[in-house]
Amino acid sequence: MGIARSFVAVFVLAVAPIVAHAESFDQETEASPAPSGPAATPPVSSPPPVTAPPAQARPAVRFVGALGLDFGFTNLLKVKMSDGSSQSLAANQGFFFSLGAAFLPLLDGRLETQATLGVKGWSIDASNGSASIVTFPLEVLEVVHVDPLRFGAGVVYLHRPTLSGKGVLDPVDTSFESSLGVIAEAEWTVRTSRTAVLGFGPRYIWQELRVRDGGPVVDASAIGFVMSLTAG
């Protein structure tokens, strides 16, 4: 029994430091915080933000072409045909075709100046005579773009409108003085390509014509329709 007790005591004395060291190791292991630092996986970079491409500025000068038809309110000539029908020529009436340019863009192109020069004419024909009126309009407009609408207002200069007759209508020959009037337009626009815009809509002209050599003044106001193409 004494030997057993002595063996137990020696065992306890030998094992106690080991157990105490093991308990201390377990406490340190449990209390130690998780290692800090960068994640094991490499960081994923976010894609760059998507930005809309900048709006393309309007060119400084763009080509403009226009055609249309104006109807005058004041008849200069009315002819009765043999079949009982009648035809008339009105002041400032006719088909027109013009070419020019749009330039001086302002406010990111929403405002610009447009100038065109063209020819306008109308005629009536019979078996024994004919008559026609011809003029050369110069139009200068300030144009405002409110897509898809386009509004324009400015002046129109008619260079020496001429009414001429042939055959039995030869006596109707009349020359008018050059005239300055006011014009307003409104167009619905459709982009046909990156550099071309088609527009169409009504227009109105306030104008007077005076017969040359001190003749009477004629109301030459007209209402019409224009179709335009702007490219560049």
Q: How many Å apart are CA 71 and CA 134, to the nearest integer?
A: 14
pLDDT of residue 11: 42
Q: Which amino acid is at 9?
A: A
Domain ranges of the chain: 1-30, 61-231
- Give the closest residue to 68 by CA, choosing from 160, 146, 183, 195: 183
The CATH number of the domain covering residues in 61-231: 2.40.160.20
pLDDT of residue 32: 46
pLDDT of residue 231: 93
pLDDT of residue 136: 97
Burial 26-64 (b: 16+ CB within 10 A, else e): eeeeeeeeeeeeeeeeeeeeeeeeeeeeeeeebeeebeb
Which regions of the chain are under pLDDT 70? 1-57
Paired residues of 175 in beta bridges: 162
pTM score of the predicted model? 0.73
For residues 113 and 231, the answer to whether their CB atoms sit within 8 Å is: no
pLDDT of residue 59: 83
For residues 196 and 229, the answer to whether their CB atoms sit within 8 Å is: yes
CA distances from 120 to 56, 69, 95, 226 (A): 35, 9, 5, 13
For residues 181 and 223, the answer to whether their CB atoms sit within 8 Å is: no
